[in-house]
Chain A
């Protein structure tokens, strides 16, 4: 041990005198002294998340003018077959039941397929819709009517062929845990327009996805940017309602009393966190009232219920579509709508038919409703999944035919804010196996989404472990072809 100087024990129990300290308010301007503009200014969401004193919502200067303000991101968890919903492949139908070409399997890895599988043509008819003549299978008649509002990417590909890693990849751009999801990046970058509500809300039907909460996790970003799951049963957010024996008035007095004593403490110790804490209690109290009202779809007109096909009181995809509109309307920046049950390894025909029936009308209703309310211009609606399905058969042709996971080419579509409707981007070969034109990476999709929100994907960064991380890692190209 090094030499220690003579230890001195003065009369150390000194009282601090609170009155000798000047009041000090940390203004936003002071916070930003010495900070160069640019990157730092992007993190508006961080400033609004309650971790600093800043409350200003001044407009940020992004690289691009924003085309959309909000996003509704529908993730069909389990991954539906693009070959039975969107992409018509007559040749695949023609060769139905024949052995797949060798190049489809040689040197390839699949989750389930082994040996030499046969080809599986879609059992469904396809129709062309709108002026653009965009094809949809007969499973999506309602959605087809919006063909001219939709831009479809048919050549998205991913690096993962198992659900959980692919879901993480689709939402965070990285196949392992620990990275922020698209929604939390957007919350971090843009913040929320409604301080009574979280910036990033998640609605689920059919159970949690394989990657669990990480699909809307905040990774290394502060947890205040993670998606908040609104539940369809019980409290819409955990711990929202008062415990038994406690009325709203009681709560009001409690929040006021906490504020009073915290204010007194602040006067003495001057820690700005205490002021933030007081505000967060007030906000929590407001949320207790605002959220149940927001989640109560009973207030909507019968016509609206009819349009969506809602089933109030139940966990239902249509309810979540309607809620997504209500949330966006209230200023929630990012709504992630997850619907599980699309993993049709077997019994594809009945399985996908039943699932499609549950989502076709509600999604079409959502687009129509947003349009009628003038919200579609500001709202980007995205519908995708973690991967697609193989043109090859899994199981037996006659009995329980299904499709395996396919990472080479699958479909995601966008509509609304800034999207060029009626566009089909990318082409695949005659069997729908490989992209032949405009192969698109998940990074490109993310870059495009950020672009539509007015954010340069190369500028939205966060420093962690000595590195500036971004959603698109080192890739990402904005797909100009689908932008209006």
Chain B
């Protein structure tokens, strides 16, 4: 990956167009070509989808041959990881391998596309673009509630919402006629910007930065265009003027400011939010809790009344008894000393308060009340951040050299001239902008979107700079295929599932990922797709995959972010922010990575080590590094160590496995989705035998390792086979660390 980037560094002729009409003739802004599918009898013999015909043509032109089809179990694993981010189970493997029908593969694909896990896997790249996180960023980096937006993205992808609605909900849901809950939550997309709540921040400057971020993110996400440069001057290479930048700015310049002054220089988070409708269940639970609280309050009142209605001597006795040696404030003391008849309401209040806080029965009721109130607060439906247009529009002016204090010409909302025309009779607001993006006359968004999906599957885009389709981008490797896919996207109602189905059922996709000599020499970066994709898994999927192999994974969906085990003292940021990382409990420890809390100042450490962005700004592609810190993470991060030890227990306690040979086969297949070959089995068997011998007498260390299993029941089951299990821990670690296990191939 880096090599590629290094290469492109040097292949950068400064074209420097001067004529703007020339610039607007750039391929990416041209209407989609309805390319004919390049048929050839030779190609048809190999092809399983029109995609293959485009690929085949280029392969032949480069004197390359497509690779053989991958072995079915490897293909199954690949498509499972690509569509759901999870590996196939033994049962899924068996049923696929035993299904001889030619439609077996398509059936699997359809099943995966309709599984809930699909949305969880495909939400992640979108959330990178949306710079979704659960905190504000900057110095304070306090927590924010916007996870309903994350859940909305997952749900929308699972429903296969057309990309046009997906777009307009997120850019302008609040401006749609009688916007519903879904449309409002979706506007969280542009509430994901960072906000600086450091004391002394210029609130207007911070707001301007947020609007700039919204313009730039929209440009990258929907137009594949880096607009950023035009903030200060006309774009050097692409046909965008500084004025046009601020015309786009004007679309986003009419929402409320999102910070509030809080006494002097201090700042606090503000801005519109939306309280979610409670579900029937939630609403029943809430009513029940509230009723209980009321009952409790009534009981307390009755009780206090009863105490106070006692005869005076008893009252005084009780006062003395409850007071004991403790000091009571003067006013209360005085209230008790006043003659009963002369007591005024404030004296009665003092007496009541005394018994309320001292009488054991009242104390008990109050304790219950506090607990109930806490439960109610937890059961309240969450509030999520949304966009809200102000009635009165802000004036937008050009910022000279990008400096918001130096304002120039006043501009109105408008779209750049080099791109397709704004639809007539459409409001120049965010909703209009979404309509413009969704216009059938817009060729760039379909190209940008299908290219990103292609990249997610094949590891590189048809255009290698998915964030930039401008004049400086390298031209597409398969321009006709790109346009064919874009047309297919438009004609299918902008369906993600349709496009992905086309891709993963192609012969191109099904190729073996083995680097054969020819492909390695002539196509080292796999530009021409002379083999199938083979890449290390992205951070979240890598963890999900290991959780699934270990058997620990929980597939519970949605809700507030989870906090799986991480080393202590990671969350340390100054400011009045709750820095305590409270580790989740129960199954929340083992839920999918998409649900793990994303704190911008310090994202989940193992994700960071595997190239996850901090989500402070829009990120289109993650780098794919290969570092010693990754090796340390997989071997030593206690989250991964726990998975290995659970996996060892799972192997050893599987009653259907009778012999060591069976156990090795089963374990290897769980991790790699294939049976080990004879050589691999031999190595693994020798390793296990060696470990069984070496660890036979290491009871104390085995016991230490055993403490990591959270379930006491599981510990008890292991104890009779303690040192055997300890040897299997080595095997389990080994399998979870294999390059094959952490890669899709």
Contacts and interface: CB of A to CB of B under 8 A. Distances in A.
Interface of A: 1-10, 12-16, 18, 20-24, 26, 31, 34-36, 38-40, 43, 46-47, 49-52, 109-112, 161-165, 176-178, 207-208, 210-214, 217, 221-224, 228, 231, 233-235, 237-247, 250-251, 253-255, 257-258, 260-262, 264-265, 268-274, 276-277, 280-281, 283-285, 287-288, 340, 404-405, 461-468
Nearest to B514: A269
Given A269-B514, A466-B465, A163 B139 contact: yes
Given A40-B7, A242-B636, A258 B738 contact: yes
Interface stretch (B288-296, B335-343, B367-375, B698-706): B698-706
Contacts of B412: none
B738 A261 contact: yes
Q: Which of A35, A164, A244, A283 has the most CB of B within 10 A?
A: A164
A26 B524 CA distance: 9
A276 B626 contact: yes
B705 A246 contact: yes
Given A7-B47, A16-B514, 18 more contacts: A1-B488, A2-B484, A7-B49, A12-B69, A15-B71, A38-B10, A43-B6, A47-B6, A110-B200, A161-B200, A212-B573, A214-B601, A254-B737, A257-B687, A271-B534, A273-B743, A465-B465, A466-B226
Given A24-B521, A40-B9, A239 B71 contact: no
Nearest to A262: B739
A5 B37 contact: yes
B638 A260 contact: no
A462 B5 contact: yes
Nearest to B465: A466
B679 interface: yes
A421 B465 CA distance: 46
Contact of A35 (B7, B488, B691, B701): B7
Interface in B577-624: 600-602, 605-606, 608-609, 611, 614, 616-617, 623-624
Given A258-B738, A467-B229, A39 B10 contact: yes
B9 A52 contact: no
18 contacts: A2-B487, A8-B47, A16-B68, A223-B611, A238-B637, A244-B704, A246-B701, A254-B734, A264-B680, A265-B738, A284-B632, A284-B635, A405-B200, A461-B9, A462-B9, A463-B9, A463-B12, A468-B9
Contact of B601 (A163, A212, A284): A212
A243 B196 contact: no
B629 interface: yes
Contacts of B638: 243
Interface residues of B, number: 133
B12 A468 contact: yes
Contacts of A20: 516
B259 to A, nearest CB: 12
Cβ-closest 4 pairs across A and B: A111-B200, A245-B705, A212-B601, A210-B139
B679 A233 contact: no
Nearest to B605: A238
A221 B1 CA distance: 11
Contacts of A222: 1-2, 611, 623, 625
Contacts of A281: 628, 631, 737
Interface string B676-704: 00011001100100110000000001111
Contacts of B39: 5
Interface stretch (B78-86, B151-159, B304-312, B564-572): B564-572
A253 B730 contact: yes
Contacts of B614: 177, 213-214, 217
B627 A245 contact: no
A269 B71 CA distance: 13
Interface stretch (B316-324, B466-474, B546-554, B649-657): B466-474
Contact of A214 (B608, B616, B739): B616
B411 interface: no
